[in-house]
Amino acid sequence: MCGIVGIVSKEDFSSEELLMMLKKLEYRGYDSAGIAMSGSKLYMEKSVGKISELEKKLDGKITGKAGIAHTRWATTGSVTQLNAHPHADCKNNIAVVHNGIVENYLKLKKMLVTKGHKFKSDTDTEVIAHLLEDHSPEDVMKTIEGRNAFLAMYNGRIVAVKNGSPLAIGIAKDRYYIASDALPFLEKTRDVIFLDDGDIAEIDEKGVKFCGEQHEPQRIDWDVEEAKKGTYAHFLIKEIMDQPAAIENAATQNDEKIREISGMINNSFGSFFIACGTASHAALSASYFFSGIAKKHINFSVGSEFPLQKHFLTDRSLIIAISQSGETADTLEAIKAAKGENAKVVSIVNVPGSTLMRQSEYSLLTNAGPEIAVCSTKAFTSQLSVSLLLAYAATGRLDEGKKLLKETSKKVKEMLTDAYLMKIKSLAGKIADKEHIYIIGKGFNYPIALEAALKIKEVAYMHAEGFASGELKHGVLALIEKGVPCIAIVADDETKQDVINGAAEIKLRGGYIIGISPDNNDIFDFWIQVPDAGNASPIVNVIPSQLLAYYLALERGCDPDYCRNLAKSCTVK
């Protein structure tokens, strides 16, 4: 949900440097982009579309000692050049880039207009620039409502304000970098300060000064090479192919910590797995893992709904929040609600230093490395891996869980051959012109049916729905017509016959059955073979659907890395 970057330097630097950083945040939004550089006067340029459009417009290099830039995921004000950030005050002295929603902006705008301020855009952000004409950043932070982070550049310095949305500052020898996350500047420095809610930092060429307590930087050890496409055409296919390593890395945890957290789960009562989007499918899987493997009931709720269920919590409840970014506003609001009821919070997170990680009592890193494609893949399989490990640890069988994940990683590696990819590509060619796709699964693989549908919707813009196979007869069968593709996820477990029966009901009504299964079956019109992975079957079974979504996107002319209308990190509610 919008990416913001800034640089303050002792020497002049070029606008290209800011755009290079901004490109690493493009996954956060790509409706429009803009830049402001502070030289002898304030230079500002904006354009609708991806950052490459802005790059074309910046005729050669603009230089300065301070600069800010923004890539937008529109919330308030339509996608126009005027609404692109940065936004300026009446005198064009203050430039602001912002991530969040100023929920009371209409009231504030009315008040500012009455006082004579002239507005140029329909955005909420512009009120910040006008408020800063007469008020301190502290007062502005207190005045604006909602989850927000902004950078304001004036008098050759940048003021960074965080209250809800994320911000990180990178400290290099002669430069200070500011960004929505650390990835844009990790190649320049590993020394990072993650701002907390309520933090205001003033950055000029002499250093970083916090209003209130000064923060010390921490070292971040992410492998930045992993955030590059390498020889792959898209991040999405690269990240799908990264999964054997991601599963193994997820399984490489501190045994003591895993045992401690699984013990906490065992001793808790009235606990919940919570998450959003793809991570919510991992959370639902985790609930199935705990029920099937550890025989322990843990509730499941999506982050945005959870605050309405907080009344069931006690001080014995544990919230296990799952998130790739650790910055999803709905998930953060959910843990805030839980803490308000004295529940404890454990998180399973991919991005080190993220807000969720810092706000949890205990945290496990999924270790999937940077995930850039908006559509989440390797983060999901690593979330499944950590959840499975916890379920095994909860029954005192951690080593068995680790062995299973190691074997699964090996099986996935062997599965992902060129021939395998070409087979799924050929399937995409066959069904790319269809309007609907239905997916059925049961038990451990019911959440995988939901996840498979989400992948296809997000990147190929096709209507896809996942169902529990047993639900077909309760209404879904009415949707089946001749030739409709239906994916049946058939694990070699107690659910096998039920899912096959569901597929048969679809087939006799004309459906085209695509089976994802270790064994072929007469009922399948197209068979995608997967290795039998026992309790880890969801990890293996989701991968063919990720590949299918990728190839469907290519067939339908969609960019697999940038999903229409979506942003990777949803930092607004």
Distance CA 167, CA 466 (A): 36
Contact segment (CB under 6 A) with ligand M6R among 294-302, 338-346, 370-378, 412-420 equals: 370-378
* Minimum distance from residue 106 beta carbon to ligand M6R (Å): 27
Closest to ligand M6R by CB, 356 or 476? 356
DSSP tag of 218: E
Q: Is 279 in the site for ligand M6R (CB under 6 A)?
A: yes
* Minimum distance from residue 201 beta carbon to ligand M6R (Å): 24
Contact segment (CB under 6 A) with ligand M6R among 49-57, 161-169, 277-285, 546-554 equals: 277-285
Contact segment (CB under 6 A) with ligand M6R among 261-269, 320-328, 511-519, 529-537 equals: 320-328
Q: Is 371 in the site for ligand M6R (CB under 6 A)?
A: no
* Minimum distance from residue 552 beta carbon to ligand M6R (Å): 15
* Minimum distance from residue 117 beta carbon to ligand M6R (Å): 36
Q: Is 148 in the site for ligand M6R (CB under 6 A)?
A: no
Distance CA 450, CA 457 (A): 11
Q: Is 324 in the site for ligand M6R (CB under 6 A)?
A: yes
Distance CA 95, CA 43 (A): 10
Distance CA 385, CA 104 (A): 42
Contact segment (CB under 6 A) with ligand M6R among 156-164, 212-220, 369-377, 495-503 equals: 369-377
Q: With the CA atoms of 539, 298, 254 and 382 taken in that order, what torsion angle do they form, in degrees rounded to the nearest 10?
A: 20
Closest to ligand M6R by CB, 137 or 277? 277
Q: Is 376 in the site for ligand M6R (CB under 6 A)?
A: yes
Closest to ligand M6R by CB, 279 or 552? 279
Q: Is 276 in the site for ligand M6R (CB under 6 A)?
A: yes
Q: Is 387 in the site for ligand M6R (CB under 6 A)?
A: no
Contact segment (CB under 6 A) with ligand M6R among 218-226, 317-325, 471-479, 482-490 equals: 317-325
Do the Cβ atoms of 183 and 215 come closer than 8 Å? no
Q: Is 374 in the site for ligand M6R (CB under 6 A)?
A: yes
Distance CA 107, CA 145 (A): 11
* Binding positions for ligand M6R, 442-471, rule CB under 6 A: 458
Q: Backbone dihedral region of 362: left (phi > 0), alpha (psi from -120 to 50 degrees) or beta?
A: beta
> In 5-125, which ranges are continuous DSSP H helix?
15-23, 51-57, 105-114
**What DSSP string runs through 506-530?**
HHTTT-EEEEEESS--TT-SEEEE-
* Minimum distance from residue 569 beta carbon to ligand M6R (Å): 6
* Minimum distance from residue 1 beta carbon to ligand M6R (Å): 10
- Backbone φ and ψ for 473, nearest 5 degrees, come out as -65, -15
Q: Is 75 in the site for ligand M6R (CB under 6 A)?
A: no
Q: Which long-range contacts (CB under 8 A, 24 or more apart) does 231-238 make?
A: 234/373, 234/550, 234/559, 234/560, 234/561, 235/372, 235/373, 235/561, 236/373, 236/375, 236/377, 236/459, 236/550, 236/553, 236/560, 236/561, 237/550, 237/560
What's the one-letter identity of residue 247? I
| Cα dist from 364 to 35, 265, 296, 427, whole Å | 37, 14, 20, 37
Q: Is 277 in the site for ligand M6R (CB under 6 A)?
A: yes
Q: Is 328 in the site for ligand M6R (CB under 6 A)?
A: yes
Closest to ligand M6R by CB, 240 or 570? 570
| Cα dist from 461 to 398, 547, 549, whole Å | 40, 15, 9
Do the Cβ atoms of 392 and 513 come closer than 8 Å? no
Residue in 341, 337, 302 with CA at minimum distance from that of residue 323: 302
Closest to ligand M6R by CB, 88 or 279? 279
* Minimum distance from residue 112 beta carbon to ligand M6R (Å): 33
* Minimum distance from residue 325 beta carbon to ligand M6R (Å): 3
# residues near ligand M6R by CB under 6 A: 16
Do the Cβ atoms of 324 and 371 come closer than 8 Å? yes
Among 99, 285, 317, 331, binds ligand M6R (CB under 6 A): 331
Q: Is 165 in the site for ligand M6R (CB under 6 A)?
A: no
Do the Cβ atoms of 463 and 426 come closer than 8 Å? no
The sheet with strand 3-14 has its strands ordered as 42-48, 32-38, 63-72, 3-14, 175-179, 168-171, 191-194, 218-219
Which residue's Cβ has the minimum distance to ligand M6R?
277
Answer yes or no: 558 catalytic: no
Among 278, 359, 363, 382, binds ligand M6R (CB under 6 A): 278
* Minimum distance from residue 450 beta carbon to ligand M6R (Å): 11
Among 2, 486, 563, 570, the one annotated catalytic: 2
Contact segment (CB under 6 A) with ligand M6R among 68-76, 368-376, 431-439, 484-492 equals: 368-376
Among 310, 402, 568, 570, the one annotated catalytic: 568
* Minimum distance from residue 385 beta carbon to ligand M6R (Å): 15
Do the Cβ atoms of 406 and 251 come closer than 8 Å? yes
What is the distance, to the nearest Å, from the Cα of residue 228 to the centroid of all Cα atoms in its chain? 17
Q: Is 323 in the site for ligand M6R (CB under 6 A)?
A: yes
* Minimum distance from residue 504 beta carbon to ligand M6R (Å): 31
Q: Is 375 in the site for ligand M6R (CB under 6 A)?
A: yes
Contact segment (CB under 6 A) with ligand M6R among 174-182, 210-218, 467-475, 565-573 equals: 565-573
Answer yes or no: 568 catalytic: yes
207 token code pair:
């250093």
Q: Is 566 in the site for ligand M6R (CB under 6 A)?
A: yes
Closest to ligand M6R by CB, 38 or 363? 363
| Cα dist from 293 to 256, 262, 296, 444, 449, whole Å | 20, 13, 8, 11, 20
| Cα dist from 182 to 25, 101, 188, 370, 485, whole Å | 10, 22, 10, 11, 42
**What DSSP string runs through 414-472?**
HH--HHHHHHHHHHHHHHTT-SEEEEEE-GGGHHHHHHHHHHHHHHH--EEEEEEGGGG
Residues labelled as active-site residues? 2, 568
Applying CB under 6 A, which residues contact ligand M6R? 276-279, 323-325, 328, 331, 374-376, 458, 566, 569-570
